Structure 1
Amino acid sequence: MAKGQKGKKITLKIAKNSIRISFDGGRRLDLSHMGITSFPQCILKLDDVDELDLSRNMLKKIPSSIQKFQNLRWLDLHSNQLEELPKAIGTLQNLFYLNVCNNKLTTKNLPQELNLLKNLRILNLGLNCLDSVPTTLGALKELREIGLFDNNLTIIPNSVKRLPKLKKLNAERNPFPDSTQQEEHADSIKRTEKLYLVPEKNLCSSCLEMCQDETDKLDGLKNVAPSPSKKPSFPLLLTPNSSAKDNQEEWRLRGKQP
């Protein structure tokens, strides 16, 4: 876009025609990839939508009026030019998905009010300019997935790593002091399974046979050369140049699972 050239003007008619019905029956306002340079004030009249997609534009600021979208469950702002988020974002209590990946956000300009999003399950802060992770994010007890890749982080606070429901943490390509620390941060988030030990005499014949089969398999694996280790993969925390758009419905539905 040439210098001084204005972005596309979004009218209320254009916005209304951009509303789609998602698989779960929610109303999604999709204004992604439309060359928008400033937040369209007209969409405040559509504040009853459940999902708002303003990704892949040239937005530099999100106004405090975003708080009018009290029904919002899903907010996608990735691939813009945002340098800060408004404090009012903390009022969106129904929000379970927030993607601000690939912007210009700094730690200083992340509002403390993010810790008020008690229902947030997926948070993507990747590809920004963060030099630290606010420990206050540890208040997001419902968080399942967090993207912190491609920032300037040297440590992940324990308050975030130890979130009770966190299953995936992508912190790749950060300048951690120890080269192995990056993988440790990612590997520290694992789903744990309970193990119960019982005497052999208490097992039924079928269970005993099953355990013996598993034991035989493990014994067989001891004689097989180990395959090269693979780095963790995080398919739900995609970078903006990926097939994110094709997977939005999957993200949406996954985020609602208890």
Structure 2
Amino acid sequence: MAKGKGKGPKGKKITLKTAKNSIRISFDGGRRLDLSKMGITTFPKCILKLADVDELDLSRNMLKKIPNSIEKFQKLRWLDLHSNQLEELPKTVGTLQNLFYLNICNNKLTSKTLPEELNLLKNLRILNLGLNCLDSIPSTLGALKELKELGLFDNLLTTIPNSVKTLPRLQKLNAERNPFPESKKEYIDPIKRVESLYLVQEKDLCCSCLKTCQEERDKLNKFKNTMSCPSKKLSFPLLLTPNSTAMDNQEQWRLKDEYL
């Protein structure tokens, strides 16, 4: 039998020099280690020497496991592991007390391999668990009182714990494409959805956004014309309400809720 036969694909080896060259400065001045799309199959131990970074992006690789040593990244606020082949997460992820963003979407996690220690991430604002193999989520996630956004889409869920549905600061819950019983669709519907309003000038909008905003404005004007209102209306001809694509710097949108 040939040596090494039957093993998985050999990924790219990340050296400390490569890792150092992959450090970027984020919008708010933090240090971001970006190793996404690098063909990594094994967690590079060399990056433990860079454990003082604020953000770590290992997304879109072929990782199957994150080691317990992830706990060394105590300054971490942003951890992106989406689109790997992760079958489990270490319990030590719960020690990352500064974490406010955690994306583990599009992996192979099951309810048994999702550590309950996630409930220790008291500062977590955004958690994405979509596109995994979860048939349930722990009710202990109800301890994440600061959580604003939760992604549970494309799993195997048939119910969502009340402790999660009633999180005090939860604004967005995406639980689409789960096998919820027809009689229990209310598990999704009552979740409050808060949309933010932003005002910008027309010159800052792309063509598609400008068209969408103009259509919405026309609808609003048509609605207003059907109502009698004697009072003088205020006019803001250069101000519209776009979506996030209107921003030149997407980093601002990525971090806009960090300190709210």
TM-score, structure 2 length as denominator? 0.75
Q: Partner amino acid for 2:177?
A: R
How far 1:81 moved relative to its partner?
Answer: 0.3
Distance in 2, Cα, partners of 1:218 & 1:88: 59
How many corresponding residue pairs?
212
Of the candidates 183, 189, 202, which is equivalent to residue 192 of structure 2? 189
How far 1:5 moved relative to its partner?
Answer: 3.7
Contact conserved, 2:74 with 2:97, CA < 8 A, in 1?
A: yes
How far 1:257 moved relative to its partner?
Answer: 3.1
Query: Alpha carbon RMSD of aligned pairs, Å?
Result: 2.7
Report 1:219-234 matches (<5 A). Answer: 220=227
Contact conserved, 1:168 with 1:186, CA < 8 A, in 2?
A: no
Q: Deviations over 1:195-224 (max 9, x none)?
A: xxxxxxxxxxxxxxxxxxxxx959749xxx
How far 1:157 moved relative to its partner?
Answer: 1.0
Counterpart of 2:85 in structure 1 is: 81
Counterpart of 2:52 in structure 1 is: 48
Distance in 2, Cα, partners of 1:9 & 1:257: 36
Q: Partner amino acid for 1:190?
A: R
Which ranges in structure 1 are unaligned for 5 or more consecutive residues?
193-215, 222-234, 237-242
Q: Name the % identity.
A: 75
Distance in 1, Cα, partners of 2:114 & 2:8: 29
Contact conserved, 2:89 with 2:113, CA < 8 A, in 1?
A: yes
Which ranges in structure 2 are unaligned for 5 or more consecutive residues?
1-5, 196-222, 229-242
Contact conserved, 1:171 with 1:186, CA < 8 A, in 2?
A: no
Of the candidates 126, 147, 163, which is equivalent to residue 130 of structure 2? 126
Q: Deviations over 1:55-97 (max 9, x none)?
A: 0000000000000000000000000000111000000000000
Contact conserved, 1:96 with 1:255, CA < 8 A, in 2?
A: no
Q: Partner amino acid for 1:253?
A: L
Higher mean displacement: 41-50 or 104-113: 104-113
Counterpart secondary structure, 1:52 = strand
Change (3 A) 1:156 1:248: farther
Distance in 2, Cα, partners of 1:45 & 1:61: 19
Counterpart of 2:251 in structure 1 is: 249
Report 1:54-133 matches (<5 A). Answer: 54-133=58-137
Distance in 2, Cα, partners of 1:109 & 1:5: 23
Change (3 A) 1:189 1:253: same
Report 1:170-209 matches (<5 A). Answer: 170-178=174-182, 181=185, 185-191=188-194
How far 1:190 moved relative to its partner?
Answer: 3.2
